[in-house]
Structure formats: C-alpha cells, structure tokens
Structure 1
Amino acid sequence: MRHRRITAALGAAALALGMVGAALAPAQAGGGHDDGPATSYTNPVTADFADTYADPAIIRGKDGWWYLYATSDPLVEGGEFGLMHVARSRDMVDWEYRGTILDEGSAPSWATDTSFFWAPDIRYVDGQYVLYFTVTDTELNAGDDSAIGAATAPTPEGPWTPVAEPVVPPRPDGGGFFWTFDPSMLADDDGSRYLYYGSYYGGLWVTELDPSGLRAVGEATQVAINDKFEGAYVLKRDGYYYLMASSANCCAGPSTGYSVFAGRSESPRGPFVDHEGVSLLDTRPGGTQVLVQNGNRWIGAGHHTVVSDLSGQDWIYYHAIDREEPWLSEPGGINRRPTLLDRLDWVDGWPVTRAGAGPSEGSQTGPVAGSLLGLTVEDPAEGRALRGSYRPDVDEQSGDHALVRGRVWTDEAAPEEVHVELDLRTRRTEPFLVRVGRGSNRIEVEVNPGERELHVEYGHGRFQEETTVPIPEEYDLSVWTALQVHVVEGQVHARLSESRLGDVIAEVGLELRPGILRSAPVELRGTGAHVDNLSVNAAHEPVAEMVAEPVRGEVLVEESFDDAELDGWEWVREDPAARVEDGALVWPLTGADLVGAGGSGGLLLREAPAGDWMVETKLTLDLGDTEVRNYQQAGLIVHADDDTFLRLGHVAIWNTRQVEFGKEVNQDGFLSWGGHTSGPPADTTWLRIHHTTNDAGEHLYRSAFSTDGESWRWGATWTLPAGSDARVGLYTGGGAQPETEAVFDHVRFYDAG
C-alpha cells in the first residue's frame, strides 16, 4: 500500500526587528546561542523511537512540554498503520513516544473503516486543543471523498473527542472529488480564524472558521494553483501573511524531490507572490525556495511546521528521506520519512532553512529550551529565582505555576538584549505588566484585560514614548495565552498568541532611543494573574546573508551550433527532425520520452570536462499557457544510462508550466522517477547544472534557471554514484501534439573552481 498521493503599531519597529510569525527573531549567525541553555542534536530527531514520522506538527503545551504529531504511517519497520502519532519533549530535540491519537472508539463516525488520517495540525483554541487532520475517505459519498476532520481535547495527549461533522466536507469536482488534504489553521489579530487546505488535485484554498475553529463559514478562496503545492503552513510576520507549501512528489523513494516554497500577501486570502512578484496562482507558478535538498544524505525534504524556541529563534520541523534507505521493507512501498529539525532564518524578508544550506547532517547546535536566571520554566514558583509577592498554584492544563499577587522580580539581571516568554491567565480586569530596565531607563509591556489592550512604553530619562493596540473581544484572556517580549538594540516588540505558531491575538512594537538598554532584573506585576512557563534568555542576532551560491568561471567549451556536423557530440537514438539552423539547434518534440522501462527519447550527448564545472543552455520553448500538453519538455540532461539520469527542463505538467529537475534511478529493484519543481520558466529560459564531487567521490549536480540570463534561482541537488560515467547534453520529450519546437541557442561549459 502506498502511503499517499503518487503524483496597527508595528511600523518601523517590526520591520527592523523582523518579527517572525511563530517567533520574534531570526536565527543567530551560525546557529549559535548567546549564553542561553542551548541543546545539540543530530538529524533525524525521531530516530530513537521511529523509522518514519511524516508530516510533523508541533505545539508547546501549556504544561511546558513540546508535542510532536505525525501522520498515520507505520511507526517502525513491520509495524501497523496507526491513527496518527504523538511524542513529547522538554528540549525540542529528545522525543518520547506517547502513542497513537485516535482509535476505533474515537475516530470520526463519518470516516470509513479503511480511511487513513494524514497531516495533523495542532492548535490551542479558546482554552482547548484542536487537532485538524485529513480523512482520506468518508461515509458521506461513494468514492475517494477526502475531507478535513477535527478532534478536541483538554490536553495535548487527549482524550480526543472527534467533531461530529467535517470542518471542510468533501468537494465534488463533477466526476470525483478534489483532494481536501493537509489542514493548517491561522488565528489573526482581528479575531478571525482561517483554515488552509488542499493539494495538487484542486489546488490550495483558505476558508474562514467560526469562533470555535471547528466549522468552515463563508466562501473559500483559492490561494495556489493546482498541480503544484500541498502541505500549506501559514504564519504572520511584519504585516505579511506567509504561505509556505511543499511541491513535487512526496514519496518516490530514492528519487523524491519534495521541497518547500513560500509566497506572501498583505491579506490572509492572498494573492500570495514570491520575491520576484510571481503569484502562486499563476500557470507558471511562483515560489521562493525555503527548504531544498543539498546533496547530502537527505532528499525529499518537506511538509513542515515552524515553531520558535525560548530565545525567539525559529525552527523548521519537516520530514525527509535517507537516499540510501528510502523504504520501509515491511509493509512494502512505504517511504521511510523521519522528522528532521533545522534552523529557519529570515533573509531579506523571506524564510530560508539554514540561510540556504538546507537539511543538516551531523551534530548541530539546537534550540534554547530552558532559561537563564535560574528559572524553572515549567514551574516559575519553584526555587528562589523569583522574589516578591506570589505563591504556588496548580492548574489542570498547565500544572504547577505561579499566582502573581503584586510585584515580582527575578533575583538575577537579564541580558541587555532579551527574550521573555510566559503563559498568562487572568479573570481579573487589572493590568499585568512585564518590565525590563533600571531606573528611568525602562521598557514596559502591559496586558490590560479590562481595557482589552496590549500596551508598550519605554522611558529614557525625561523622554517617554508609548503605543497601544486592541485585544479582540473574540479572545478569552481567562484561558492560557502566550506573551512574548523581545528586546534588541533599537526595538521592543510584544505579541500575544494562543499557540505560538504564527497566530496573533495582538502585537505591538516601538523603536528605542540608543543607550536605553541596561542589564537588569525582569519584573512582573499583577493582581491575581496566573503565570507559567516563564523564561528569560538572550535574544538572537539575525542571520543577514545567504550562504554562497555557485559562481561561473571561465568558458571551457562553447557550442554555438554553427556547425551542422555537431563535432564532439553523439546522438543516442538520433532524431532526424532535429537540425542546425541560424546558429541554433532546432529540435521538434516528437512524443518520445526517456522515463520508465524502455525509454525511447532521443539524446544529444558529449563528454563533460574533468573536475568541477557548470553547464548552461539557453532554451526557447513555447508550451502555451493553460492547455494540457503532458509532458512536453526540453532541456539539459546528465546521462549515465537509460535508467540512471538527471534532467533539467522546461515542462508542461497538466495546466502548469514549470522548471523541473528530475532523477531516474534503479535502486533496490525499483525503477523510480521523481523531480524537484524549481519555479516559473519563461518562453526563453536559461538552464544551468553545477557539478562537484564530495569526499566519497560521489557526483553532485545542482540546478539553476533564469528568465533573463542574469538573475538565477538555484534549486535542488541530485547525486550519482562515484565512478558514474555520465555524459551531458540535451533532450526533448513529451507529447507530439500540438506541434512545437525546442530551440537551443548554445551549450557552454564553464570552470566552476
């Protein structure tokens, strides 16, 4: 059985700070931590208890634990399909398996006996936990009629009560049903809640939810084109809504090219566009690369969630495939997809994993999950780290915590640049205050339940400035609410949220005068305010630059196609329709293809230079706009044999036109093909493949494309074994109708140093 588918007060302060949706600050340069209690880890982080743990979702419970959920694959080799899984951790790194989520007695009554439960999304909504998930088949219709279900619980581990009806019901398409997969919820600062869902067949959509978060209301809006994205995840940052989603086949074993892209919008309903302004709804769909395989052990990196640690650092949890061990041998056909963890940076306003370095291999500096100043995060009332007027208390959701009844302060001074985080619950109308600073140089963040306001002010000698935003009436402050306060040189930023997952109840920021920050204790003030999960850590310094991209060197070989004899080239299955004309190779598409057993596509190949190199071609190929031309294409190819090759081309995939970098390989007795979909081509597109070798002698090939010949989008890296005798050249393929021709202007090999 295959797992799943085959085929407004932020102003300058927020802009300068780079307020993250699920966190308040980007990563620290190099992944290090200033004085904070950081952990270390090696991917995959679920290796201690699981062979596969796909489609991860995470939340920090009000009890101080982090909880990690996964889709209903068998947990281990030879295991049975579960009804989703949950694990927990104190440090975001070492996970303890806690069991399955649903059973026969707690599954939705409208799900069939053979339905699977995929892609959980966990949120804290109005005092209870809500788990959204895909139900692959229901009793509501005949046929494969997927829907979005939900279950509620008082704790992250249950007991779970399924919702009586689908949150999003099956969606007929006239002959079947659109794929209603992969839910992701977002709460916004106007009191509204949204649910994003969908997949390749039907595209990505967003609908508003009722106040309970358990029922879709109003008209849904499409936010991404079909045949391109799934696994949506949305967070809010700097006034933008960021839609991140995965692309390509999730589950093609050793040729899985799954990866994550992003678009952003000033509205939760879009339109979402990438860094070049290309819409995710375009038939040549845009998308800024967030996460992509880099040539190490991990391929097919995608379907993610984003969460912040206790210093404000963003982290991305996602699944990936070990290219040397891609399958669970029992049951057969299931991809082995453990959960990985890596730093998520924000560079020039866009999310990117490890500044563009991609999935990590080997020991890494991990999240900050504890606290400075001697605080016990899960129980602030424990020990002597706090002074003042408070007493221990107990809550059924949070456990042990502190009841603040006046002025409370830390015994030690906090760092000058500080991240303070806590959970707050109050039934009183009196304000709750967080204060940082000394004397007249102080910063104050106030949650005022009576006035329904989040207020920030600071003083610097005689100077004082303040700003306030409303707290929507839809949010109940008598249940646990997260407060994050982030202070760095020049800014203070505060956010209230339910789940710490890009959701916003209220957020506010101010620019600070130079010199205001001082190392000082953190002070809390409240009247009957319950406080838990209090942490104080050094704030992070952002990563401001991407890792270096390949650089083109001197020309080693140039083919300008002014010689009809094509000296230095060799045809494999020569196409007599191809011709040299006006300084270009003109090659009509004839319907042949190389993919699969007995591939028949023609190739024009030559030997590659020794060492590291980069090959480039300029391709003109008119594939129309929206009509189905499966799978007309042309581009560059790296060819070891007809079952072992890589190809980078402009391709028509149903109604879309994309740049695809694919791989075919015969491994473990399986002939598999998969691809990485890179981005939006033009009728004239420049294509590049950059070749290097690693310490083991394996060949690494990284893709890039450009629509102007100057700015390049770098994408995935595929590998071929050491000793592969691969030649490089050109190919065409796909349907012969309607008639079209590929025009190759040149082929150049450059030194790549």
Structure 2
Amino acid sequence: MTGRLTAGLGLAAVLAGLLTIAPAPPAGATAPATQATPAPARNTYANPVTAGVVDTFPDPTMIRGKDGLWYAYGTQNPVFQSKGEDGERMLPILRSSDMTHWQYAGEVFTPATQPAWQDHSRLWAPDIRYVDGRYYLYFAVPGRNTVGLVTAPTPTGPWSDAGAVLPSPSGCPTGNIDEAQFTDTDGTPYMYWGSYDTICVAKMNAALTRVEGPVTQVARGRRVEGGYVVERDGYYYLFYSDAGCCSGAYSGYQVKVGRATSPTGPFTDPEGVDLMSLTSKGGIVVGANGNRWIGPGHNGIQTDLSGQDWLVYHGIPSDDPDLRPAAQGTLKLTRRPMLIDRLDWIDGWPVVRAGAGPSGGEQPGPVMTWSAGGAFNDGSLAGWHAEGAGTVGWRLADDPDGHGYATHGADGATPAGHGRAAHDGDAYLVSAGRAPARLRAEADLRVTSGTGAAGLTIGYVNRENHVVAWLDASRGALVTDVVIGGRSRGESVTPLAAGFRFDTWHNVTVEVRGSRMTVQVSGDRLRDASARQSRDLPRAAVRAGAVGAAARGDGAAADNVGATALYTPVTQRAPEPEPGALLPAYSDEFDGTTVPGTTGDSPWQWVRGPAAGITMTDGTLSWPSQDGDLYLGDNRASVLLRDAPAGDYTVETKIRFAPDRPAQQAGIVLYENDDRWFKMVHSALPLQNGNGAVLQVSEFGKEGEQPTTTPPTAVANAPMFGGPTADTMWLRLSYHADVTHNENEVRAATSRDGEHWVQNGVWTLPIKGRLRIGLVSMNTSGAVARFDYLHTYRD
C-alpha cells in the first residue's frame, strides 16, 4: 500500500491534516434524522464466476479475508488445461474483490512441498475458517482416508502443516472426506465429515486440530456427503449433497438440507423426516433446472455486505461436461466450475433463488460496496473524523493480513465507569458519509488490552446520539448501548465464551430491520457466531447516520468498517409446477378386469410382455416385480406403454409398493427405447457401510448416450434422489419440449399424501425419437406394485 501511515509518524501532524472534529448539537438534544448516502449500485455476474480464470474448481469454499477481499479454495484438479497445463494444482486458491470476478492466487501445496505423511494422495474438498488470528484450511486426504489441516497468517499462506485431524479409525463407518468445521456459540468446536452414504460429527479439541470424543452419525442416504453447517434463528442447518457428483452429463448431485436444535442433531428435512431415516430426503436447496447446469452440489455459504446470503457451489456445464484425460490416460475428471447464486430463507428453510435453481445469464450480483465506511487501505484517514475523548489517539497501523487498519492508542483517556448515562472516555472514528436507518453494518475489531473495548457504532450523529456494539474485554462480553440525547437507554450484555481471544480479529455485524437490532460476533462471517444479541431500539435511535469505530481505554483496533442498506428478503417461493386439465384419452383408472395391452383395442402396448403374474385386482393394476432391468446392456424388463399427447404434459400415478430387498423398483417411465428413457420409481437400494440396511428411495433416473467420453461410451445411466418414500406414494414426471435447444426436459416430483409435493430436479436428453408413457415393476422379484391409476394432464 503506497504511502501508508505507520505508528512512527507524528500523531499530531497526521491528525491535524486528516481528522476533522464535527460540531455536536447542544447537550441533551435528540439528533434529527439525517439524509443517508444513496445505496451503491449492485454489480452483475453470470455463472460460472470462474470462467476465463480456471477451467474447473470443484467443491468450493470461500472466506472474506481481513484485507477485505474474498478467497476461494477448491479440490485438487487440472485447472489450467486450456492454457496447455496437463498437471493438477493442489488445493488452488482464487482471490476476488466482489465475489464474482476472480484471479488465481496460488495453491496450498506443490508436489515438492506436500507433506510426506499424505503419501502423495490427491487432496479434496477444502474447508476454510479463521481461528484466533490464523486461517485454518481443512482438506480431505483420500489416499490416507483422513482429513488434514494447514494454518497460515494470511489467506494465501505461508501454510504450516498441522497433520491429520481424524483418529484412525475415525469412528465413522464411511469415507473420511468432505469435512466442515463449525464452532457453536458456547465455544464448542465440531467437525463434520463423511461420504459414501454417511455423515458424522464429533467435538474437536480446543485448538481445533484434532477430533476427540464420541462420534455421532447425523445423516445417511445414497452417496450422502459434503456436509456444511450454519446456525440461523436458533436452528443448525446441515447442508449436504447426494447421488453422484462426478459423472459428467449424468451427475445427479443436488444440495439438500436438514435442520436441528443441536449441532449433533437429530436433523430433519422439511417433511419432518430424520436425516438418519432409511429413506431419501426432501429439502432440496438447489438441483438441475433444465438450463446448462448439471449436478449442482458441494456448497459453502457467503454473506454480502447487505446481509444477503449466497450459495457457493459447483456445477457441470452440459455443453462441455468433461475435462480432457490426463496425459497418462488414467485421470478422467468432470468439469466443475464455481457458481454462486442468491440463497433465500423462506419459512425457515434455505433455497436457491426462491426455488428457481442455478442461474443462467446475467444476474444481479452481491452488494460489495458500502454506503459509508471503508477499509483503511488507501494510506490515509481521509473520509473519517474523530469525536469524543482522545480525538488525537486515532492512527493508522498495518499488518500483513489486514493491511491498513485504525487503532486507538493511550492518550490520557480512561475508561468511564460502567452504567454511566454517557461515557465521557469513549472515542469515535466515524465516516463522513451516512448510512440508511435500515442497514447492515460490520467491522473487524480487536482489543489488545485486558481493560479496553472496541466498538462498532451506527446511526451516529454525535457522541450523545448513537448506537454502539462493544467487544468489551474488561467484562468478557458483547455489550450494546443506545445513547439518545446524551443518556443511555440501557446496556445489553451478552457474555462471550471462556477463552474468547479479544486480542485477535473478530467480525461484528449489526442489522437493523424495523426497530429490531441484531448483533453477531464471529471469527469469519461463516454463520457460526461466537455471540448474538437482539434488542428493540427506541424510535429515535432508528435513523440514518454515520458509521464508525469506537474505543474505550487502551488497545482498540478496527478494520473494514462500513454499512449499507439491509437486503430485502425474498419471502415467497417461485411457483411450483402444477398440472393442468386431465386428458382422459391418455389416462387409465385401472378399474377394468382385463390386463392392459392384452387386447387389440387397448391403448396400451407391451415391450417384452405381458409381464408374468400381472393381474387386475381390486381396482388396481397388480404387478409383481421382475428379475429383469433396463440398465445399460441388461434390457430384460417388461415395459407397459401408451402414447403420450403432443406438447407439454404431466403424467402421475398412485402406487402401493413396499420393497424389502435391494434393487426392487416400480414406477413410471417416459420411454423412447431400451437405451433412452426417464423414470421415477420407488426403489430399494443397499446402504453402503450400513451392515445390510436397505434404503428406500424415490429414484429419478435417466439413460441415454454419453455425450463426451474417451473412449466413447454408448449408454450411461444415473439417478437423482427425490423426496421421502412411503408404502403408498404419488409419482409425477412432467415433460417439456425445449425446441430452442432440441432437448427433452423432464422434471420429477413425489408425494406421500397426494397433496404436498417435493419437487425434484430436471433431467434432459437430446430430442431424437418419440417418448411414450409407461409403467415398470422390475429389477428384482419378491415385491408387488399396485398402480391405482395413471393420469395424464395438459401443462
């Protein structure tokens, strides 16, 4: 930073040129509302945000550094193939000033610096945290079936190896990858990890370097992995992904979520289903929506300066889903660039873009500039002025991580006694610009004296009219105060956990919505608050005003101090698809006595049928599951088919089916031929590492040609997993012909009562031949599917 002021400069000379003492209104006067500086314009972006920077960036995680920039970390991959580089970068790092425009910033290891204990393993799925003045980067070491840790003083290093985090064995019956660290408000640190059907959690030691104590399983399901936990409004939310991450155009990955009132669960989905239950789960946060993005998954979360949350995740471009195989021909990877999209919290549940799914095209971006405030990185205190006691105590300082910051030194000011109406010893450094009354403000604060306090002030008109949130080392607490007309309207004190380090940077945020003020303290803005406090403000305190830093006593420092208009939350989900009018000519109530497709006048036809044992029973089509499948080259299953209407439509069936052995499945299909189809079935699948447990899933699958593989693969097959199952279920497939892109688009949905539906993602295939509507009961014998009806609706 050119021309940065340092502690060695004469304070009087510096402050005489840079600080202006603002006049104060008469003592006891209530400050009038002031005009706020207009809210800054939002930037725009288009996914993937890593386009033109790196070719791929799987499993992204992100943090805002103390220098005010954002840093993202990804799984080891060949990120520069397009630049002619065949090798991989080991935990690549990107840097951005706005979360949408990125530059390459290095990598954590090279082959020469990778620690020997990792045995040359590839390194996956990093998770970044800021802990007591250092950056902690956790990552999976699959070659050793464990999790590693490195720490650094800045987001780009230099990195120090801290060894393996998990004991061996870890206590979790799973692949020991996809870790995420979380610290609760009481200071208890946890580690979440797992893959290949199970996610576990355990407490960590105080240094956050090792897992210790009992291991609790918190989620299981087919390929459940990628756990990531945040706390919001009294709930702990476990984000995770399931199905397959990395099969190119056949990746069924989605992000899902469950919530709990404890970090160790039990977590339940929005349907009330425990994430440990032996069924597929609802709570889909983001899935494929039919645009170019396939297999969205493995997420982190970030918050912009207005308080709006953003999901950070990867997606697979349908037009270019695969990376070039490595020179040796053994490493074949799926292209997974980094995406971001707005994360909305609606009725207590998170969902991307109100349920619209991954974005395509230009989008409003995160709010990245403040209405008032700054980062102290321009070498001066221009735009700031000092008020209160010790006005000549403010100066600029510098460190390698945060660069410029403001600090208040000893100048004869002494801490005022607690409980006084106004603190005569308090010093303020406030912005020239004004922030609106409804705002989000934040600052990075620290206190190096055991008797000092550092604060964030909002709605500041003068020292007799303002609101302040203190990190108070003398009381070991977060303290808020509202001062109107020179008198305090009462302090609120929230104790901080034992061991809280006041002498390292902590982020303090203040949000004011209506008359409600919410304050949070965290190390890294990652929704794992060290303390939170809410209180109602008097009407006179809800006003536009300056934002700034506050100091009491010795050792207060502040960085990245600013405020802008608080975001407006989205409160309504995007409309969910609803079927239109029933098409009787393409429907069947199954109330006859003749098996469909066995007479010349039937609208139904069989492929390899009629199926053995099929009957009409009590107004249902009763069909024993077969020892035959529609899977790649194994095409022995019977399929009962009928024509589909022209245009867009939805097909629905009510099915009673209770499979008790792996691979039994039954449901509806949209069928072109044995190697091109979509299906929505109730299926039973084995749970890996489940000691023989059988998982009931709503399986939304497709089969078709693999567009890009080397060597060419004629047929590929993949599932997504939808909502929870039941012995009686309602299944839907909704068809849309995307003539612009010449694609069949099919969306699935499931219900356990016929009224409340869990919407799944969208599978696509190029339009070639005609799709017909069908039913199947297949793969393994021993179960009976009873179809009550098949209804087709116009969309």
Q: CA deviation at 1:583?
A: 1.6
Map Cα deviations across residues 516-571 of structure 1 (whole Å, 9 max, x no partner): 42111124320432111222111101100000011222211330113315221111
What do residues 605-650 of structure 1 show as CA deviations (whole Å, max 9, x unaligned)? 11111222111000111124xxxx2211111111122221111111
Count of residues paired in the alignment: 701
Matching residue of 1:422: 443
**Match for 1:298 among 275, 288, 293?**
293
1:649 aligns with 2:681: yes
The 1:695/1:455 distance shift into structure 2, 3 A limit, reads farther
1:560 aligns with 2:589: yes
Determine if contact 2:342/2:353 at 8 Å carries over to the other structure: yes
CA contact (8 A) 2:200 2:216 kept: yes
Residues 371, 448 of structure 1: alpha-carbon distance in 2 compared, 3 angstrom cutoff: same
Amino acid in structure 2 at the alignment position of 1:570: Q
Closer, same or farther: CA 719–582 of 1 in aligned 2, 3 Å: same
Question: Per-residue deviation at 1:157?
Answer: 1.0
Q: Does 1:271 align with 2:266?
A: yes
Alignment pair present for 1:41 and 2:77: no
Q: Is the 8 A contact 1:87 1:96 kept in 2?
A: yes
Separation in 1, partners of 2:254, 2:66: 32
Q: 2:716 aligns with which of 672, 677, 696?
A: 672
2:116 is paired with a residue of what secondary structure?
A: coil
**Following the alignment from structure 1 to structure 2, what is the Cα–Cα distance between the partners of residues 259 and 34?**
39
* Shift in Å, 1:226: 4.7
Larger Rg: 2
Q: Which residue of 1 aligns with 2:566?
A: 539
1:61–1:363 Cα change, 3 Å: same
Structure 2 unmatched ranges of 5 or more: 1-36, 410-426, 597-601, 687-693
Letter in 1 for 2:129: R
**Amino acid of the structure 2 residue aligned with 1:87:** L
Shift of 1:225: 1.7
Cα displacement string for residues 305-328 of structure 1 (whole angstroms, at most 9, x for unaligned residues): 001011111011111111221111
Which residue number corresponds to residue 751 of structure 1?
Answer: 794
Cα distance in 1, alignment partners of residues 495 and 281 from structure 2: 35
Specify the SS of the correspondent of 1:530: strand
Percent pairwise identity: 37
Corresponding residue to 2:515 among 490, 494, 498: 490
Contact 1:43–1:361 (8 Å) recurs in 2: yes
Q: Counterparts of 1:300 and 1:226 in 2: how far apart (Å)?
A: 17
Tell me which residue corresponds to 1:70. Answer: 74
Matching residue within 395, 401, 404 for 1:397: 401
Matched, 1:317 2:312: yes
TM-score (normalised: structure 2): 0.85
* Residue in structure 2 matched with residue 112 of structure 1 by the alignment: 119
How large is the RMSD of aligned CA atoms in angstroms?
2.1
* 3-state SS, counterpart of residue 679 of structure 1: coil
Query: For residues 719 and 632 of structure 1, do their structure 2 counterparts lie closer, same or farther at Cα, with a shift above 3 Å needed?
Result: same
Q: Secondary structure at the match of 2:263?
A: coil
Q: Find the residue that maps to 2:354 and give its secondary structure.
A: helix
Instruction: Give CA deviations for 1:116-157 in whole Å, capped at 9, x if unaligned.
Output: 11100011112111111111123xxxxxxx111111111111
| Residue 167 of structure 1, CA deviation | 3.5
Counterpart residue number, 2:107 = 100
The answer as to whether partners of 2:454 and 2:557 remain within 8 angstroms in 1 is no
In structure 2, relative to structure 1, the CA distance for the partners of 1:378 and 1:412 (3 Å cut) is closer
Shift of residue 178, structure 1, vs aligned partner = 2.9
2:134 to 128, 140, 145: 128
Q: CA deviation at 1:678?
A: 0.8
The aligned residue for residue 9 of structure 2 is none
Cα deviation, residue 37, structure 1: 4.3
Give 1:701's match in structure 2, choosing from 746, 759, 762: 746
Cα distance in 2 between the residues matched to 1:292 and 1:460:
49
Show the 5 A alignment for 1:366-381.
366-373=365-372, 375-377=373-375, 379=377
Instruction: Rate the CA distance shift 1:529–1:380 in 2: closer, same or farther, 3 A.
Output: farther
Structure 1 stretches of at least 4 aligned residues deviating more than 6 Å after TM superposition: 460-463
**Secondary structure, counterpart of 2:272 in structure 1:** coil
Aligned to 2:699: 660
Q: CA deviation at 1:450?
A: 1.1
**What corresponds to 2:13 in structure 1?**
none
SS of equivalent residue, structure 1 residue 424: strand
Q: Secondary structure at the match of 1:504?
A: coil
Work out the CA distance in 2 between the residues paired with 1:522 and 1:196: 37
Equivalent pair of 2:595/2:614 in contact (CA under 8 Å): no
Comparing 291-300 with 688-697, which one deviates more in the overlay?
Answer: 688-697
Q: Sort the Cα spacing of 1:456 and 1:584 in 2 relative to 1 into closer, same or farther, 3 A.
A: same
Instruction: Write the deviation string for residues 235-283 of structure 1: whole angstroms up to 9, x where unpaired.
Output: 0111111001001111121121100111111110000011221100011
Q: Give the whole-Å Cα distance in 1 for the aligned partners of 2:775 and 2:408.
A: 71
Could you say what secondary structure the match of 1:38 adopts? coil
Q: Which residue of 2 aligns with 1:148?
A: 147
Aligned to 1:450: 474
Shift in Å, 1:422: 1.4
Please say if residues 254 and 672 of structure 1, whose CA atoms lie closer than 8 Å, have aligned partners that are also in contact: no
Alpha-carbon shift at residue 693 of structure 1 (Å): 3.0
Q: State the AA in 1 paired with 2:697.
A: Q
Do the aligned partners of 1:380 and 1:531 also contact (CA within 8 Å) in 2?
A: no
Secondary structure in 2 matching 1:742:
strand
* Matched residue SS, 1:355: helix
- Give the match for residue 15 of structure 1: none
- Displacement, 1:381? 6.5
Alpha-carbon distance change, 86 to 333 in structure 1, aligned in 2, over 3 angstroms: same
Say which SS state the counterpart of residue 286 (structure 1) adopts.
coil
Q: Secondary structure at the match of 1:91?
A: coil
Aligned to 2:667: 635
Give the superposition deviation at 1:513: 4.8
- How is 1:456-605 mapped onto 2 (pairs within 5 angstroms)? 456-458=480-482, 464=489, 466-513=491-538, 516-527=541-552, 528-557=555-584, 558-563=587-592, 564-566=594-596, 567-574=602-609, 575-605=611-641
Q: TM-score, normalised by structure 1?
A: 0.90
Deviates more, 1:231-240 or 1:442-451: 442-451
- The answer as to whether partners of 2:737 and 2:744 remain within 8 angstroms in 1 is yes
Alignment-derived partner of residue 24 in structure 1: none
